[in-house]
Structure 1
Amino acid sequence: MTILGIVVFVLGLLFSIAWHELGHLSTAKMFGIRVPQYMVGFGPTLFSRRRGETEYGIKAIPLGGYIRMIGMFPPGDDGKLKQRSTSPFRSMIEDARSAAYEELRPGDENRLFYTRRPWKRVIVMFAGPFMNLILAVAIFLGVLLTFGINTTTTTVSSVSKCVVAADEQSDTCPENAPPTPANAAGLLPGDEIVAYNGVAITEWDELQRLIRDGSGQVTITVERDGEQRTLTAEPIRNTVTKIDEDGQYVPGEYVTANFLGFAPASGVVQQTFPQAVDRMGQMMEDGAEALVAVPSKIPMLWDAAFNGGERAQDSPVGVVGAARVSGEIVALDIPPTQRVAIFLFVVAAFNLSLFLFNMLPLLPLDGGHIAGALWESVRRLFAKVLRRPDPGPFDVAKLMPLAYVVAGVFICFTLLVLIADVVNPVRLAG
């Protein structure tokens, strides 16, 4: 089952890459740009077939893909495709410029990428990441609306017998400890809380907030054995685990708040459309924050890879790590529907990461080309307003030395993650 999970993940990875490149391909052809190649993967070609003017193929290393468009960069300042220079930086620029024209054919003069208006180039470059975003949203919504998600509910799982401060870490009742308000009120495991102090309740986060922020005697309406009953309780002040702005517990941090003394049950709950949209938005926000936090995680990742340090559960993972996790998911001893749902979440998260990563305004990423086209629009707008000559297309090729540096950083980071995924992988069970 583990091998099956890995194989299915690789297939999902290939589909995600192909789907991304399809966005670039379709919009490039729509705007009349010639595309000689559409490839999924890197390295040696395993299979290819030409359809019309484009060669479609699969390569041996499934770590990315590309389409080749004619004329990605404008000619040099002297109007030539290649300038002779001993400068290594100039050589980088002109090598990239030359590669963009190496398949130039008669009649292609009006089918070059750089000759398209900036807004068209933005669409072509944005279309790839946007396809990943569409796929991520579709999977997230589909899973949340059909399978559901493991959620903390308003059903009571257990009721504590006595009041114990959360920071005491005790499972037994100290001598002379008072009974919890929930116990004194007669709350029982299995009760579903449907209202608190007259306020209808549907989600645990809302109930938790009302309990902690309220004061005085309260009424608790529960559904028990198909009937609704109203209990009366008086919360007390106690040391409890701190929760963050998303309603998640913060381990090791405590606050003083109102306390009843029961634990909620968790279960797979099918989401309504508004709930699904809200959760999906939170996932996107978390994904963006995780991407921003990647540099701060590199020291711990290095320690985990080379010094035997602990691999954090929120540590960055690469394709190998994601494939390993996918294998573990498929091998889990849980209902098949839950395995499918969790696996689809991994694929959706991967596509969301592709979208966010590719939107970084750095070459050689799609976001770098988008930034170049937008800057060209700004330059031409200012020239028009100030009645100056059109400055012409922005020469993105001049940024290639920086692009090589960025690519080098990405490659080093990818190798570091790969080593960590092999020697000290992230596991579902920690």
Structure 2
Amino acid sequence: MMFVLGILLLFAGIMFSVAWHELGHYLAARKFGIKVPEFFVGFGKTLWSRKVGETEFGVKMIPLGGYVRMIGMLPPAKGETLGRSRRTGPFQGLIDDARQQSAMDVLPEDANRQFYTRAPWKRIIVMAAGPFQNLILAVILFAIAIMGVGVPTSSTTISTVSQCVLPATAPQTEQCPADAPPSPAAAAGLLPGDKIVAFNGAPVTENDWRSLQEAIRAASGTVTITVERGDQRFDLTPTLIRTQAQDLNDPNRVVDVSFLGVTPVPTIARQGPVTVVVAVGDVIVRTGQAIINLPERLPNLFGSAFLGEERDQDGPVGIVGVSRIGGEFLAAEDFTATQRVLFLLNLLALVNISLFLFNLLPLPPLDGGQIFPALWEAIRKRIARVRGKPDPGPVDAAKLLPVAYVVALLFIGWSAILLVADVVNPIQLPF
């Protein structure tokens, strides 16, 4: 039941994210007086629709995206009569047909409500509004998770105390050998449940184990640790020892640090808005790098889908895969309700960051494929104005249609391979 619930929740969240994206386009287009005949989530056969005003809202069968149809996306060609082109070329028929189809949507009374007639900056806002809706939603989801629920962290309360010090090469056992020296924490009398409130006289922030850990590692010799045990507060004076341990910032690096011999109690603590900003920025950078590396992921994805090769656990995942991950996490018995909520919120936020960045790529038919021509048009207009030349007019986005079809075919092929891989060789969560 929880597995199915997780799949449904993630799928519904992704579809909401798609609709939220399209809502950005719709509201911006209406703001600038552009007519919007259709607003659909999905592609293919219409499952449900309802017309409100001049716009038909609905849901289609294939849940792989959505679209808002605005009239006049393609400008008329210069020096041509509709449907009668004097030019030839391998793609000219395709371009002319698309231009003619675009013009057929425009009624005489809507001539001044076409997309291409708006100033470049307005068209940029209309096309960028969709991706930025996803960014806004991602920030909201991260804020709910980080500020409202909290993030997994370690408290300054002691969970366990190492009773002895063993060499790194020695077998790790629950009982200490008779000749093993006691750990600094055990020798000083620290106990599980003790809450560290100060280190060498400096107050320790509750649930900020990382800062306390850094202070312990940097200290040397005998230190003073103030603890709370029940209703009592007192000082203990362990003598730290030096040892080799992983660097906190680079797990692949071993450094010489001081050792106390305690582990903290894990907890979930709410954080402030700065943590939200840092988290969003970090995810944007990592997601951007992942998108750039997508082409080199194709061989592994194809092999895991059709050749039985091992799936890259850090590789791309589609709607089916994301929904399945959500179902598996909710079905796992080792997590609390709070951890499940955090996982779903963060996963959906990651999906929205991906939609934000992917749609800004300057490739038609993505949103960036309309933003780039509008930017180029604005630059051309400014150059012509400075040089005292006449307005060069709108950039002919129809000339990019061959690129749009190639990109669309590549995207369909990529989505198909991803779907097969997510079904036959899904990414496995590490638990």
CA contact (8 A) 2:80 2:86 kept: no
Residues 11 and 323 in structure 2, CA contact (< 8 A), matched pair in contact too: yes
Quickly say closer, same or farther: Cα 1:232–1:351, change in 2 above 3 A: same
Query: Paired residue for 1:327?
Result: 327
In the TM superposition, residue 84 of structure 1 has moved relative to its aligned partner by 6.3
Q: In structure 2, do the counterparts of structure 1 residues 80 and 176 end up closer, same or farther at CA, with 3 Å as the change threshold?
A: farther
The secondary structure found in structure 2 opposite 1:398 is helix
Aligned match of 2:204:
201
In structure 1, how many angstroms separate the alpha carbons of the residues matched to 2:295 and 2:194?
46
Letter paired with 1:207: L
Which position in structure 1 is the counterpart of 2:89?
87
Instruction: Select which of 156, 159, 164 maps to 2:158.
Output: 156
1:110 Cα offset (Å): 0.9
Query: Could you tell me which amino acid in structure 1 is paired with residue 265 of structure 2?
Result: A
Q: Which residue is equivalent to 2:406?
A: 405
> Counterpart in 1 of 2:241?
236
Structure 1 position 104, deviation (Å): 1.6
Q: List per-residue Cα deviations over 1:381-418 (Å, max 9, x = no partner).
A: 12222323322212222222222332233223222221
TM-score (norm 2): 0.88
Runs (4+) off by over 4 Å: 173-177
Question: Is 1:139 aligned with 2:144?
Answer: no
In the TM superposition, what is the alpha-carbon distance from 1:269 to its structure 2 partner?
Answer: 2.1
Change (3 A) 1:411 1:217: farther
Name the counterpart of 1:43. Answer: 44
The Cα of 1:119 is off from its aligned counterpart by 1.0
Q: Deviation digits for residues 362-384 of structure 1, max 9, x if unmatched?
A: 22111221222122212221222
Aligned residue pairs, count: 424
CA change 1:224–1:296 in 2 (3 A) is farther
- 1:313-342 alpha-carbon deviations (Å, 9 max, x no partner): 422211001111121233233443433332
Unmatched segments (≥5 aa) in structure 2? none
Aligned-partner residue type, residue 9 of structure 1: L
1:165/1:239 contact within 8 Å kept: no
Q: What is residue 118 of structure 2 aligned with on the other side? A: 116
Change (3 A) 1:197 1:51: same
Aligned partner of 1:271 in structure 2 is: 271
- Are 1:227 and 2:226 matched, yes or no? no
Alpha-carbon deviation of 1:225?
1.9
Shift of the alpha carbon at 1:268?
2.2
Letter in 2 for 1:139: L
Q: In structure 2, what is the Cα distance between the partners aligned to 1:23 and 1:278?
A: 25
Q: Check 1:366–1:199 CA distance in 2 against 1; reply closer, same or farther (3 A cut).
A: farther
**Aligned partners of 1:155 and 1:193 also within 8 Å:** yes
Aligned counterparts of 2:24 and 2:376: Cα–Cα separation in 1 = 23
Partner of 1:74: 75
In the TM superposition, what are the counterparts of 1:30-429 in structure 2 within 5 Å?
Answer: 30-82=31-83, 83=85, 87-164=89-166, 168=169, 170-172=171-173, 177-202=180-205, 203-244=208-249, 250=251, 254-333=254-333, 334-429=335-430
> Would the aligned equivalents of 1:69 and 1:100 in 2 still touch at CA under 8 Å?
no
TM-score in terms of structure 1 length: 0.88
Q: 1:222 & 1:401 partners in 2: Cα distance?
A: 70
Tell whether the 8 Å contact from 2:283 to 2:353 is kept in structure 1 after alignment: no
Note the C-alpha offset of 1:34.
Answer: 1.1
